[in-house]
Structure 1
């Protein structure tokens, strides 16, 4: 099952597990905290999530480019994880929505610093023939952490009678453990780093540009998953069951991501991504029409397949297209393209919800996903992964 997965990928998988335990002790409770404790509405939630994710994505571009020009990527990875791990628990002291925005901003700065160098390090550490499996494994471990995190939060709230702020403080512990693991266990790979300005200020060309354009269009309809939790609350999922729903969601993602990543190693990336975007469109249509809590649980299960089909596979396809010496920058542009679309996606979704209702917001997201899938089929050629890096 783990054949071809290198030591670096295994360690970075555990790091993502611990980081997501920390993050997901907070994230499923954030909409509840904002709306009931701080009195914010859906539009504010959209602004907070959109600004946070867009900030991270612009930094992912800069850190990815920089990592190609440094002899080692590890320093950026350590620094990024450290910033996030120290900032994230400070949501516990927030008293206004603006304060939450500030903490999320700092958290996403750390994510922006680490993500592109880390993904490039993963791509450098494995053979191209198992790249889909490697990225799938990494995302599976991330989702495993997202299962444990809400369970810990549920135990703290239900069994130990902690309040939300106490749970947020405890979320700092696994984050610090993740940073220590990177420092002592992650190793650099032998590679040639760039010493000139190529790929620095120019937008990628050819197949990579076309791929990034399609991803950007898809992202315009891909709002924050916080809105799914808000929809769940509307349809009867109680605060005590929200973390359990989030755990169930990540269980589906964890189980699906590695097998679909390995499948893309055999049949090609584009077909798997198209299947995932089709699932997304159908799921969003379902969220628009849902009327009961049972519908929500079934839709979260189905929606989890979207992540399994796309998360690792999109990154593997990017690594297939990019030159080895420019992978950090390629991942930076990938994350930037997604981030540029993240702010308007969440803001527009929140405004549509507030003014026209959830049916219009989810319906719009489904239509954009259909458009992006058609463009992927038309302008991004099918490509089988090579046998070597």
Structure 2
């Protein structure tokens, strides 16, 4: 079909549009994400362990739904409806955060947002894979993650501007205004999905047949490694708490967070392109090593330069581990089950991300924040070693 063949920047038009959608949605999300740790602790009066657990629970919840909705989208071969529904839930829940009064209603709305992410992620990633040229999935996913993260660069900068603009208002009022305004780019992304994004699942045979990739020992081993690596994936909130522990303000810590997202955005696309030739397994292995270095740098950061190095390494690590495994799973999956297989990866990852942040929160509360990062470094080193046993 003409739309399938149309290309821009070397990728399909559909992948480009999904990149625009993710840019707008992540701009929306990242307007509020940097202020949530302070909002939790200062406005909603949640403690260290509770805050760490809440942030971990939020990041884990979405993954519990990903394999289910990936499977359903495989069965119906209709990705777009799930993508739209997921983004719609997230947009509504972010705006509603302006009206929260307790940590539990904050958690409820964030759970709705994460359910939205769970509904859309596997169908969207399957749609990206189906809209990609054969052998170029790394390039497509790299572009998508780059656009997603450019939104993550823009979001905190917009939030910083709004904080400065509203600086005469009480901090709580400022936070609530930002929550409301975050729904605007999310609403625009919904219009892009409705008007321009096209389904591709119908082009795949409807009949479900063949032996599932999920029965492969190699894939099962990779998912086990993913689980171990996820135990070392502390919430972004811990990096901001580290900056604040060193005496930086909320606005300054948001600037560090913007630096992390800029490094992520600049790295994701070239790393995706490189992975198509260099090998996705080798790049994933390298990513675990970079993750360990980042965690050690955060643990022992005492000055500006070490802290900046930690955020740079963190950006490169997340760019690898948020991009390449998706393309790796898309390559392994058979045509009839791309949503299911990609969803399985997201679900395993998400299930183990929650205890990672609970453990990190407990280590911070009981000992110090440095212990949380040291634990993360150890888990990533174990995952890096175990990757040697995973086949190409």
Structure 2 residue matching 1:188: 3-state secondary structure = coil
CA contact (8 A) 1:83 1:110 kept: yes
The 10-residue stretch of structure 1 (185-194 or 131-140) with the greater mean CA deviation from structure 2: 185-194
CA contact (8 A) 1:59 1:113 kept: yes
Provide closer, same or farther for how the CA distance between residues 25 and 267 of structure 1 changes in structure 2, counting only shifts above 3 A: same
Corresponding position of 2:4: none
Match of 2:297 among 277, 286, 290: 286
CA contact (8 A) 1:80 1:111 kept: yes
Match of 1:85 among 74, 91, 100: 91
Aligned residue pairs total: 379
Match of 2:72 among 66, 73, 82: 66
Q: Distance in 2 between matches of 1:381 and 1:257?
A: 23
Q: Distance in 1 between matches of 2:274 and 2:206?
A: 31
Corresponding position of 2:161: 155
Structure 1 residue matching 2:249: 3-state secondary structure = coil
Corresponding position of 1:42: 48
Unaligned runs of 5+ in 1: 383-389
Matches within 5 A, 1:347-358: 347-358=358-369
Provide closer, same or farther for how the CA distance between residues 204 and 337 of structure 1 changes in structure 2, counting only shifts above 3 A: farther
Question: What do the CA deviations read for 1:129-169 (whole angstroms, capped 9, x no partner)?
Answer: 21101100000001100111111111111134361111111
Residue 319 in structure 1 maps to residue 330 in structure 2 = yes
Matches within 5 A, 1:299-318: 299-318=310-329
Corresponding position of 2:199: 188
Structure 2 residue matching 1:76: 3-state secondary structure = helix
CA contact (8 A) 1:237 1:293 kept: no
Structure 2 residue matching 1:129: 3-state secondary structure = coil
Provide closer, same or farther for how the CA distance between residues 196 and 86 of structure 1 changes in structure 2, counting only shifts above 3 A: farther
Question: What do the CA deviations read for 1:264-291 (whole angstroms, capped 9, x no partner)?
Answer: 1111111111111111101101111111
Provide closer, same or farther for how the CA distance between residues 197 and 130 of structure 1 changes in structure 2, counting only shifts above 3 A: closer
Residue 241 in structure 1 maps to residue 252 in structure 2 = yes
Corresponding position of 1:345: 356
Provide closer, same or farther for how the CA distance between residues 197 and 47 of structure 1 changes in structure 2, counting only shifts above 3 A: farther
Structure 2 residue matching 1:25: 3-state secondary structure = helix
Match of 1:251 among 245, 262, 279: 262
Q: Distance in 2 between matches of 1:195 and 1:273?
A: 30
Q: Distance in 2 between matches of 1:273 and 1:2?
A: 27
Provide closer, same or farther for how the CA distance between residues 179 and 330 of structure 1 changes in structure 2, counting only shifts above 3 A: same
Question: What do the CA deviations read for 1:328-354 (whole angstroms, capped 9, x no partner)?
Answer: 000110111001101111111101110
Could you tell me how far 1:225 is from its partner in structure 2? 1.1
Instruction: Output the aligned Cα RMSD.
Output: 1.7
CA contact (8 A) 2:240 2:254 kept: no
Unaligned runs of 5+ in 2: 1-6
Matches within 5 A, 1:1-389: 3-161=9-167, 163-189=174-200, 190-195=203-208, 204-377=215-388, 379-382=389-392
Corresponding position of 1:387: none
Structure 2 residue matching 1:193: 3-state secondary structure = coil
Q: Distance in 2 between matches of 1:293 and 1:38?
A: 30
CA contact (8 A) 1:24 1:150 kept: yes
Corresponding position of 1:386: none
